[in-house]
Chains A and B, each alone.
Chain A
Amino acid sequence: MRAGGDVATPPTVGLLGRIVNGRSSVALLIVPILLYLAVFFLYPAINLLFFSVLTQDAKGVIGQPFTLEHYAKFFDVGLYMRVFWNTLRISLVTSIFAILLGYPVAIVMVRSGPRIARAITLIVIAPLIVSVVVRSYGWQLILANSRTGLLNWMLMSLGITEAPLSILYSEMAVVIGSLHVFFPMMVLPLASALGKIDPNLEASARTLGAPWWKVFWRITLPLSVPGLVAGFTLVFSLTAGSFVTPVILGGTSATMLGNLIEQQIFVVYNWPFGAAIAVVLVFVVFGINTLSMRLLEGRRFRSIA
């Protein structure tokens, strides 16, 4: 029997054993994508890092000597630092709102009958697929600063405000737009984590007389932390790296790192500086990812101890 031989092969030991055992040919199937990503993803990314420490002379020629001046400039100039803090603040505030509003939606989604659960899933997912440009544009129509915006038209028709509010082209508008764009990224991991909790745990806590908020605080929340951390990481990272929403809703008053990069490359043509800001953005995103991982690992360790 030639075929099926590897099914009965006893587990081989050691690295060499693993490489030569029967299932090794299956492992080769990963080679094409590794080559592809090495050439079109990893190499360009490393190249960008290299680019960020090169000098650009007055004529725009880029080359050696190596320098850290672009990073120094970024962290010295108030304007750039403001964009940096804008990015962190907008991403953090968006993530916090996503958590506060995502929990109720995820709980109702998981704990309702099939029809309601299905309707909520459909509404949460559908916009995920609609272009970010389109969704931000929708918010522009709602938040427009004169009485031609839907929100101001409603508020003024109802007599709640006398004069139109100015929400568009502010950080608040960017937070609202980003919350809309990335909300599914919080709800879906939360719902999946909540779905894994044994409902009997909550039921017995209720039976023993715990009020709803205590059940949430002592049982639901701790058990759903993996989903919470995954959602937070996704929303924070995606918001920090966004470009479209700040342009459409933030105008010039809520510029983020992505907009700064685009501006340095396409408007100022300062490629090494643009590359340096891109590296800073990558570090922000990876920092949040590492922090989240630590948090999850620390928690697992504590629960074992």
Chain B
Amino acid sequence: MTPRLTGVGAWLLYTITVLMMAFILAPLVVIVAMSVSDSYFVTFPPQGFTLRWYGQILQDRDFLEALRLSSLLAFGATAGALLLGVPAAIALTRGNFAGQALLKGLVLSPLIFPALVTGLALMQLLARFGWGDARINLLIGHIVVTSPYVIRSVTTSLMLIDINLEDAARTLGASRLRTFWRVTLPQIAPGVAAGALFAFMVSFDNYPVTMWLANSQYSPVPLVLMRQLVNVFDPSVPAMSTVIIILAVIGVLILERLVGLRRAAAM
């Protein structure tokens, strides 16, 4: 049993925690509140109640096009990250070869490498070899930054399951592929799903890589939002932001259902 927190220390801990919870939620709550405010300029206190900004973004071709592009891009990046990441995670946990730690560090390195520099370096390479399609370039860059998330969560899952079950299946004559499909995969499914969801969300939200590889024809959501925010005054920005907040909340709820948040957080 964990000891109950008591005394002055506990009082201090709970106060700071409550304040931090308010700090974390404040900007999100403010955005949602402003999204239904019936005033052209964003001011406090919010005035009136209206859903017209939501009506407006439903007709905003740029934003809808960006939503479509971002969703497709995130699906593609997730598929790519799974195709490359799941086998890599298996090799790292089930294989036995020289330089394993080094290779693990290498495949996870896009996590620590500044994403802004990853994007810039890739842009420079692509510019030199002829540009091609911006959508393909975005996909290439997004797979680089999302694959470590899949590798990390699948590796964690693989380390947690009982390897004897796989050995038993193999001893009973199942092929490697069959063993993976029937024994390993069902056990690591939550980890694979969590990795995929992380990859999807990271891709959907990515700014630092996207900013180098997108162009005026193909601009994903974060770029369109930033443009509306910095360059033009657009009163429907809070409504667009609220849509993104709602999508994120749905993502968190799915994650919670799939693996439980504590485990997802540990990944």
Hey, which bits of chain A sit against chain B, CB under 8 A?
1, 3-4, 7, 15, 18-19, 21, 23-30, 32-34, 36-37, 40-41, 43-45, 47-48, 51, 101, 104-105, 107-112, 117-118, 120-127, 129-135, 137-142, 147-150, 153-154, 180, 183, 188, 191-192, 199, 202-203, 206, 211-213, 215-216, 233, 237, 240-244, 247-248, 258, 261-262, 265, 271, 274-275, 278, 281-282, 285-286, 289
Contact = CB atoms under 8 A, between A and B. Distances in A.
A132 B205 contact: yes
A51 B248 contact: no
Contacts of B201: 129
B225 interface: yes
B130 interface: no
Contacts of A244: 207-208, 222, 226
Interface of B: 1-3, 5, 7-10, 12-14, 16-17, 20-21, 23-28, 30-31, 34, 41-45, 83-85, 87-88, 90-92, 94-98, 103, 106-107, 109-110, 112-118, 120-122, 124-125, 140-141, 143-144, 147, 151, 167, 170-176, 201, 204-205, 207-208, 211, 221-222, 225-226, 229-230, 237-238, 241, 244-245, 248-249, 251-252, 255-256, 261-262, 264-266
Contacts of A47: 121, 124-125
B97 to A, nearest CB: 4
Contacts of B173: 1, 3-4
Contacts of A122: 252, 256, 261
Given A29-B90, A202-B3, 7 more contacts: A40-B143, A108-B13, A111-B5, A112-B5, A117-B262, A149-B44, A153-B44
Nearest to B43: A148
Contacts of A30: 87-88, 91-92, 95, 103, 107
A247 B207 CA distance: 12
B122 A44 contact: yes
Contacts of B13: 104, 107-108
Given A33-B88, A40-B140, A41-B144, A134 B241 contact: yes
Given A45-B113, A45-B121, A130-B245, A258 B144 contact: no
A170 B40 CA distance: 26
23 contacts: A4-B173, A26-B94, A27-B95, A32-B83, A36-B143, A45-B113, A47-B121, A47-B125, A48-B117, A48-B121, A104-B12, A107-B5, A123-B21, A126-B249, A134-B245, A153-B44, A180-B24, A241-B115, A244-B207, A244-B226, A258-B114, A271-B124, A285-B114
A108 B14 contact: yes
B44 A3 contact: no
B213 to A, nearest CB: 11
A124 B207 CA distance: 21
A141 B27 contact: yes
Contacts of B24: 123-124, 127, 180, 183
Given A18-B98, A282-B114, A142 B26 contact: yes
Contacts of A274: 120
B175 A3 contact: yes
Nearest to A41: B144
A125 to B, nearest CB: 6
Given A23-B94, A262-B211, A108 B17 contact: yes
Contacts of A44: 118, 121-122, 124-125
Contact of A148 (B42, B87, B114): B42
Contacts of A33: 84-85, 87-88, 107, 147, 151
Contact of A29 (B26, B95, B124): B95
Contacts of A241: 114-117, 208
A126 B151 CA distance: 22
Given A45-B121, A47-B121, A127 B28 contact: yes
What 8 pairs across the A-B complex have the smallest Cβ distances? A138-B27, A212-B9, A241-B114, A44-B121, A29-B87, A30-B91, A27-B95, A153-B44
